[in-house]
Amino acid sequence: MMDVVVAVVLVWAAVFKLRGGSQRSALAKIVGKHRVATVFRIVGGVEIVLAAGLLLAGPVGKWAVFAWFLGLLGYLSWARVAEPESSCGCLSDKFAPVGVRALARAALLAVMAVTGELVAWYAAFPAAVLVVLLSAELDGYWLVPLRRLKVGWRHPLGNAVFHIPVASTVQQLHRSQAYQSAYPLLRSDVLDTWDEGEWRILTYSAERDGERGTAVFAVPRDRYEPAAVRFALA
């Protein structure tokens, strides 16, 4: 069963390469950009033969695939150093940087090719899942949807605390009917301000009929609703 998983990966990779492969791979540095598509098609043909040999040629086919993936591991190690901005170009044209995941996948497939007879048949299922997890090219099919689901369940800013600027509250206050009505009584700018629940309290010095006092305004803190502003003279 393990052989089947490796063969499927080889065929998948071969089909992609037979279509011309990726122009963003480090292969261009070795053979030149104008030869990349041709070389990819040759590699794709070899992978088709290897997939067939793995299933039909017994130990020879298994060790041939083992050697192939070791060679791929060497190529990817070189590409990571020589062309760090290049794409793996292994399974799809989607950009997949040559990182630890790509190296681990090549090593895993090499081991899977020669250990199929040494493990239980059902071991192929977790091995296949591991291949998918190590394939950055496939992230769009499972990792991105999971991230979107996480964002839908838990807003990334859900625990953030936002401070509403006092200037914003004052601006809302100035637009309120309560402030405009009390404006003739005011004798100062804002003296003090504090928050009480959903309200922001602002105080001003005031004077009415020759008596000094304090004008107190309660302004909605988390919403823009000038009509809700409250006023009291103390």
Mean pLDDT of 29-34: 82
One domain, residues 76 and 188: no
Distance CA 87, CA 109 (A): 19
Specify if 148 maps to a domain.
no
Residues 67 and 119 reside in one and the same domain: yes
Asked if the structure places residue 119 within a domain, the reply is yes
Judge whether residue 50 has pLDDT over 60.
Answer: yes
Say if 147 falls within a structural domain.
no
Q: Which of 55-69, 138-152, 182-196 has the lowest mean pLDDT?
A: 138-152
Residues 9 and 118 in one domain: yes
Are 176 and 91 in a shared domain? Answer: no
Would 151 be classed as within a structural domain? no
CA atoms within 13 A on the CB side of 101: 15
Query: What is the per-residue DSSP string for the chain?
Result: -HHHHHHHHHHHHHHHHHTT--TTBTHHHHH-GGGHHHHHHHHHHHHHHHHHHHHHSHHHHHHHHHHHHHHHHHHHHHHHHH-TTSB--SS-SS--B--HHHHHHHHHHHHHHHHGGGS-GGGHHHHHHHHHHT-GGGHHHHHHHHHHHHHHHS-TTTT---PPPHHHHHHHHHTSHHHHHHGGGEEEEEEEEEEETTEEEEEEEEEETTEEEEEEEEEESSS--GGG-EEEE-
- pLDDT at residue 159 is higher than 60: no
Tell me, yes or no, whether 73 and 8 share the same domain.
yes
If asked whether residues 46 and 135 sit together in one domain, one would say yes
Residue 159 included in any domain? no
The predicted model scores a pTM of 0.61
59 and 116 co-located in one domain: yes
d(CA 37, CA 134): 25
Residues 181 and 116 in one domain: no
Q: Are 171 and 58 in a shared domain? A: no
User: Are residues 121 and 186 located together in one domain of the fold?
Assistant: no
Domains in the chain, number: 2
- Show which of 142, 175, 196 is a domain's final residue: 142
Q: Is the pLDDT of residue 33 over 90?
A: no
Domain-located, residue 153: no
Please check whether residues 171 and 110 belong to one and the same domain: no
User: 229: domain range?
Assistant: 166-233
pLDDT reported for residue 111 = 93
Question: Which of residues 142, 174, 205 is at a domain's end?
Answer: 142
Asked if 75 contacts 14 with a C-beta cutoff of 8 angstroms, the reply is no
**Residues 22, 96: one domain?**
yes
Q: How far is 153 from 200, CA to CA, in rounded Å?
A: 31
- Taking only the tens place, the pLDDT of each residue in 112-144 is 999 988 888 888 899 999 999 998 888 877 887
Residue 149 falls inside a structural domain: no
Last residue of a domain, one of 142, 174, 192: 142
